[in-house]
Structure 1
Amino acid sequence: SAKHSDLCERRNIYADEKSSLESELDKNLVQRKNELEMTLIDARIMESETLVENESFDLELIDKRIASFRQLLEEKDAKIDELVKQQTDQKELLDKLRAAEDKQMDIINVEAKTSRKIAIKLETIEKKHNECLRKLSKMGTIPSDCDNNYHNMSLKDEYLELQKCKHKLSKMPSVNQKALDQLTEGREKGRILQLEKREIKAGYESIQRLIETLEHQKYEKIQVTYKSVSKFFVEIFQRLVPEGKAFIDMVYKDSADSGSAGSQASGSHASQESQSSGGISGAGLTPTFAQIDNFIGVRIRVAFTGKTVVKEMNQLSGGQKSIVALAFIFAIQRCDPPPFYLFDEVDQALDPFYRKALADLIKEMSRSSQFISTTFRPELLGSAQKFFGVKFAKRVMILENICVKLISDCNMN
């Protein structure tokens, strides 16, 4: 049929292609295969030769390293042999040193025993020496020529001479055998006492000079303080009492014991002189150095008007005493100004005029110090910068800041 014939043709075509391919394989591909095999064999041969050369080079390097290691090993063996030899020599030397040490220890032990024997002998000799010294001390002072007279004598002759001396001493039982020693000891004690006496005298003179120096310093300090306080007291009192006068007198034991009658009699005359001398009273005289030792205090005398008699503190009223006390406190503090003042109702006993004068003085002094004051009066409030009110409510004290306007209203009222 057609399909069968078609398949036959196709089979023939494939058979022809097969034949042509086999022919080409036999002619070309097989030959090419043989060539490639030959080329591969040649390449393997060349690669083997290169590998052999490389291996040969590595083998030579390995042989050289083996040779260097063998040489190094031989050197190490030589050093080991040398160290072993040195160790053997050191061991032999150590054995010799140990043997020598044992010998030295034996010698030391022998010497230690000998030293102990010598120490025992020395202790015995020391005891005998001390006993001899004790006996010599009982014999009294030995003459200086004794050594020359008895140096060349034998022991037997010295003993005979000693017996003669004892026999002579036995005939004189009442003689003080230690008189010369006691005389020498007394002279030495006298010399030491003289030295101590001179030292004590020098110390006493030094203390006296120190006391005089301190007394002079005390005198100068009292004088400077007295003059400063007196000057400031007069100035401050005249600020508080413009028409008044004030004086400060130094009080001594003799003037205090003599009574107030004589001092009152001389006070009027002294007051006039103190007014011209800046308020330093006592007849305008500076107290002497001897009077400073009798100084016991100061006496203040004031006059609140130019016509009134000068009065002492016990003759003043309560308000006048407050003015004098404040002036005196300010005078003392002006010598060494404090950073702040704390006043508690100091204006209670003052009249309005003195309260105003005190407020002006505090305002002026507040430039260099701080003032904290409690008051029920309006005069001090007019010179203050801050105001605080204290009230008691429900058993608790409360501090409140008060404005300036309220204070001004209070002052106006």
Structure 2
Amino acid sequence: MAVRLPRPHRDDVRIALAGLLGGLVLWGLGLGMRTAEEPNVLWPWRWPVLVPLVVMVCCEVLRRQRPRTVLLVGTAALALDTTTQGNIATLVMFTDLAYAAVLYSPLASARRILWMTGLLTVVGTVVPIAVWRTPEAVLVGVIIGAVAFGPATTGWLVRNHRDAAEAARLRAEQTALLAEIDRTQAVTAERARMARELHDMVANHLSAIAIHSTAALSLDDADTTKQALGVIRENSVEGLAEMRRLIGILRDSSGDTEPSAAPTLDGLGALVDTARANGLDVTLDTTHVKLPAPVELAAYRIVQESLTNALKHASPGRVTVTLAQRDGTLSLRVTSPYGDRDGPRAPGSGAGLVGMRERVALLGGTFEAGPESAPDSPDSGSSRDGKIWTVHATLPTTLGGTE
């Protein structure tokens, strides 16, 4: 199986070509770092200079893909270059290999290369001084530091800046992603809140309109029709007022769209009177003091939706609404006859129960809704088969419980 060599980076190719061109120009001009008469020059001819030059050029091409390998090969080529007349281009390209090895190698390898070049610089300074005992011996360490440790240190600094920039970019992307998630969740929560408000404010009036319009169309009695039309008009006006309040919440502007105060438990009496006008036999029993606004709004909407459901689905009989405050909670219970009606008096979507459950969950309370056996009492309002539909919610009345 053939091994596919990595494709060199175009910048590395340019660096290699520049190094080759510079080395050939220097070789052609006869400019070397050493003369043929020096004792360490084992190859006094000019052509051996080209061998380490070409090897170094090949290493430059793969400086990103194989940084550690080309550093080893480049070190051997530099050692070979010291036995010839030498070429400054070969030395300069080796410094670039040391720089690239620290910049592109894995972190552990880059750290080892940095320490090794530093140790080599120290050894190259101390040992010649100890052996030769001349000031000129320091130049050996200076040269090693300039050729190996200096480029490696530069690569380490550039690597740190690159990694810091990448980390900052990732943090910025994560921050933007979290901000988008928060925005999406906020929009979703606001849409759910407005859906609950729209349903709770309008469904009661539209249900009454649907029921009384059906009665007006089905009964051939002028007085009944007139009474039904009066109820329809009253619910239409109230529904329009509620819609304007909702539009005011959405727009928060002046004029007739200015939002009014949210309903409170003080309005339960008027809410029950409206339910009675729509044909429900409702009794209200409430004992409570002033509560936090979110608690009062939720309790009001739950009672409102429960009466709307009773208007649409309950069997003939009494509907009871009971509110009691005790031990830091508000207990709300609405019961209505259940089980005798063949179908609803007005169509429903089931969103009312979902909205009530969401309101209670947002306040950290508990919610239950469903049929249960009625107590043995003439005022229980149960149907003939002894079943009642009960909505029971428990809401915390402290501010900490409304978070």
TM over 0.5: no
TM-score by structure 1 length?
0.29
Q: Specify the structure having the higher radius of gyration (Cα).
A: 1
